[in-house]
Amino acid sequence: MQLAGVRDSVINIMQYRQTFYERRALEFIAANAPRGGIYFDVGTHIGNHLVFFAAFLADYVFGFEPLPIYVEAARENIRANHVAARVFPHALGRHTGRVTHQDYAAISGTMIEMETRPLDDVVRDIRLNAQYRTMPISFLKIDTDGMDLAVLRGAHKTLTTERPHVFVEVASDKLRRDVPAFMKSLDYEHDERFASQTPAYYYRPK
């Protein structure tokens, strides 16, 4: 992956190792996720997962990143790697509106206000475009520093009708209880757990 944009700890690790960040998880996804169709990368950051998905797995990738510094970095990485993807400059959540959340790009940990939309509304709008109308929704990756369950709840219709595979970060004890319960209620099975900086679970529909 060619790197462009900001410098932070993730980029430092990628440059040191000369490979994608969280490579073990990406290799598992590559071996188990459906090929082709649309992938969603919720919490795109600089575009590490997005570029991998677009280069090797998906027909098209939509990313969602509310922090402007990372939106531009992800867009630069899309251009540098010549992949079919787009990044929306807002967060996903359970409802349309605005939420206050910690700015994880800031050392001070300041709070910022972010625009949110449910994924179900995004999918509805994407389906209006003939290019994406018949593409299956194949995969959903969520890494939002604590908003992950809200994103899943806002994707309820997509999860029940499209049945994508899901890779979701669970950054707290509460999420590690609530996310499995929610996914079980939608008839998803827990496939694999990954423990890097933050634990994450892989789910597939039964």
Give the model confidence (pLDDT) of 143-160 as tens digits: 998 899 999 999 999 999
Structural domain boundaries in the chain? 7-115, 167-206
Cβ-based neighbours of 190, under 8 Å, separated by 6 or more: 180, 183, 201, 202, 203
Average pLDDT, the chain: 88
Q: Give the number of other Cβ atoms within 10 Å of residue 193's Cβ.
A: 11
pLDDT tens figures, 173-205: 999 999 999 999 999 999 888 866 679 999 999
Q: What is the pLDDT of residue 100?
A: 80
Q: At residue 34, does pLDDT exceed 80?
A: yes
Q: At residue 86, does pLDDT exceed 80?
A: yes
Q: What is the pLDDT of residue 1?
A: 57
CATH 1.20.1250.20 fits 7-115, yes or no: no
